[in-house]
């Protein structure tokens, strides 16, 4: 990361105000404080939360610069959901729903949303129970939640009705895509990750059941 973290944030997310950058820096410290009592991220990633979690999450904003209705599945420590909440604060009428069934993690998410007045709503529910509460998102996100076939099943109530998915995936993503094709057909755009040389963001749209052979 360069000496100017604001520049790195703008490279990842697109135009971002200095105020949003400062809020995200404050969130980084708050995250580390909470992580001492709640396991919010893998210990091996805590030496570089800014790049490995915040910038990695922020790059989704550049892929969908006009989207205003988002839902993040399995939000956990807030990646990418909370980070997107900070960025969506700059978009008029934009909001994100954070779905997290773990009560302690949901409490953390709610604390951050309240402290920074983010345009976000925390749903402390299982994903399957959240469908009627999030009727028409434009973008569905998930990071380190499940293998792609399972993610598509979980997100299918939205993706089969016009929503797009932005899913973080690692070096083995091609095998997951191939496995998913047994059940689902979809349009796919692969966006190289700006923070992980082996990672991608899978943009999935027009989800539909695969034709049986």
Phi and psi of 157, rounded to 5°?
-60, -25
What are the pLDDT digits (tens) for 60-101?
999 999 999 999 999 999 999 999 999 999 999 999 999 999
Residues 6+ apart with CB under 8 A from 146: 74, 154
Is a pLDDT exceeding 50 seen at residue 1? no
Provide the CB-side half-sphere exposure for 97 (13 A, CA).
21
Query: Pseudo-torsion of CA 75, 81, 83, 86, nearest 10°?
Result: -130
The torsion region of residue 39 among left (phi > 0), alpha (psi -120 to 50) and beta comes to: beta
pTM for the model stands at 0.95
Q: Greater confidence, 2 or 43?
A: 43
For residues 88 and 70, the answer to whether their CB atoms sit within 8 Å is yes
For residues 60 and 166, the answer to whether their CB atoms sit within 8 Å is yes
What are the pLDDT digits (tens) for 18-58?
999 999 999 999 999 999 888 887 777 767 899 999 999 99
Nearest to 140 by CA among 198, 118, 131: 131
Average pLDDT in the chain: 94
The CA distances from residue 133 to 24, 122, 145, in Å, are 28, 11, 20
Cβ atoms within 10 Å of 97's Cβ, excluding its own: 21
The Cα–Cα gap between 84 and 88 comes to 6
pLDDT value for 152: 98
State both tokens at 36: 């001492």
The Cα–Cα gap between 138 and 159 comes to 9
pLDDT band at 212 (very low <50, low <70, confident <90, very high): low
pLDDT value for 47: 77
């Amino acid at each position: 990361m360069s000496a100017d973290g604001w520049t790195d944030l703008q490279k990842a997310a697109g135009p971002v105000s200095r105020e949003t950058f400062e809020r995200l820096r404050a969130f980084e410290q708050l995250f580390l404080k909470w992580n001492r009592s709640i396991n919010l991220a893998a210990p091996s990633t805590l030496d570089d939360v800014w790049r490995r979690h915040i910038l990695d999450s922020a790059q989704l904003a550049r892929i969908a610069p006009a989207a205003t209705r988002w839902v993040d599945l399995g939000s956990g420590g807030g990646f990418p959901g909370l980070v997107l909440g900070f960025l969506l604060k700059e978009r008029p009428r934009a909001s994100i729903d954070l779905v997290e069934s773990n009560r302690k993690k949901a409490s953390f998410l709610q604390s951050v949303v309240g402290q920074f007045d983010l345009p976000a709503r925390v749903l402390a529910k299982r994903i399957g129970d959240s469908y009627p509460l999030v009727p028409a998102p434009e973008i569905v996100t998930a990071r380190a939640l499940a293998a792609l076939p399972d993610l598509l099943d979980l997100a299918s109530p939205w993706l089969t009705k016009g929503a797009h998915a932005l899913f973080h995936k690692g070096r083995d993503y091609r095998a997951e895509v191939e496995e998913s094709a047994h059940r689902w057909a979809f349009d796919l755009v692969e966006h190289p990750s700006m923070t992980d040389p082996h990672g991608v963001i899978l943009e999935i749209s027009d989800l539909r059941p695969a034709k049986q052979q």
